[in-house]
Amino acid sequence: MTKHFSLSDTPFDTASERAKLLDDRVGGFASFEGWVRDHNDGRPVHGLRYEAYAALAEAEGERVLTEALSKFDILDARCVHRVGDLAIGELAVWVGVSAAHRDAAFAACRFVIDEVKSRVPIWKHERYADGDAGWLHPHQT
Amino acid sequence: MMALATVLYFASLRDAAGVASEPVDADGDLSGLYELLRTRHGFALPRERLRVAVDGEFARWDQPVRAGSEIAFIPPVSGG
């Protein structure tokens, strides 16, 4: 079975991920990239760490991608999420979706990143410029 | 009946517990187990904000603690 979701403990190459989704049927490709920014909630951030419950994160991530493939008229979809220590400016998460038409590609890409953010057991630990640090456990919105 | 299980901690729960996992000898259901461990370790998060998983799959809080199982309390996630 093809794996659609994976965790990566090292930087990964988006061009090769994207190439896996393209073939002659594809008329539209949409992607989303999440990057480590230098601030959160008005506080300067120096770096962060992602921790996952790997077994469950991979299973739940795969379910999100399977749902996207059944819910939208798309050809293929993949998502890679980093774990471990990341510096400012590093790629944290990548979603790619291929489809015959753009509407389904955009909608499925949005669905995947939203569901991954709300469901997959990955946690962000931020280190702030003032020396403080902490885990983010956001309230559901 | 007491059941010996393993509990996994992640993120702020691991920081509060001071360990990534520990054996627990418990009876009753998973919600009772969380309340017991919350008192023991001083977890800030109420159970209502967590999910629970058993042996790598999400589970229900009213499920009994089974001997030999691996239980994980899942704090609100923040990937992406």
* A140 within some domain: no
Q: Is the pLDDT of residue A141 over 70?
A: no
Q: What is the arithmetic mean of pLDDT over B15-33?
A: 96
Measured distance CA(A136)–CA(A95) in Å, rounded: 22
Give the tens place of pLDDT for each residue, A45-98: 998 999 999 999 999 999 999 999 999 999 999 999 999 999 999 999 999 999
Distance from CA of B27 to the nearest CA of A (A): 25
Give the tens place of pLDDT for each residue, B46-66: 999 999 999 999 999 999 999
- CATH code assigned at A36: 3.90.1170.40
Domains and CATH numbers, chain B: 3-74 (3.10.20.30)
- B6 alpha carbon, distance to own chain's centre: 9
Chain B CB contacts of A122 under 8 Å are: 77-80
| Residue listed under structure tokens 């799959």 | B57
Does the distance separating the beta carbons of A59 and B79 come in below 8 Å?
no
CB neighbour list of residue B42: distance below 8 Å, 6 or more residues apart: B16
Which of A118, A123, A132 is the best residue to mutate to test the B interface, defined by the most B CB atoms within 10 Å of its own CB?
A123
Residue pair B12/B21 in contact by the 8 Å Cβ criterion: no
Measured distance CA(A101)–CA(B36) in Å, rounded: 53
Q: Which domain holds residue A102?
A: 5-132
* A43 within some domain: yes
Chain B CB contacts of A48 under 8 Å are: none
Predicted confidence at residue B1, as pLDDT, reads 75
The tally of domains found in chain A comes to 1
* A37 within some domain: yes
Q: What ipTM was assigned to the predicted interfaces of this complex? A: 0.93
| CA angle centred on B48, ends B23 and A64, rounded to 5° | 85
* pLDDT cut 90: percent of chain A above it: 87
Considering CB atoms only, which of B53, B72, B76 is closest to A138?
B76
Q: What is the arithmetic mean of pLDDT over B20-24?
A: 97
Residue pair A119/A60 in contact by the 8 Å Cβ criterion: yes
Considering CB atoms only, which of B11, B45, B77 is closest to A120?
B77
Q: Is the pLDDT of residue B29 over 90?
A: yes
Closest-CA residue of chain B to A93 = B80
Q: Is the pLDDT of residue A41 over 90?
A: no
Closest-CA residue of chain B to A110 = B80
- B1 alpha carbon, distance to own chain's centre: 18
Predicted confidence at residue A114, as pLDDT, reads 98
Give the tens place of pLDDT for each residue, A1-17: 689 999 999 999 999 99
Chain A CB contacts of B77 under 8 Å are: 117-123
Q: How many CB atoms lie within 10 A of CB A86?
A: 18
Chain B CB contacts of A50 under 8 Å are: 79
* A137 within some domain: no
**Average pLDDT value over all residues in chain B:** 96
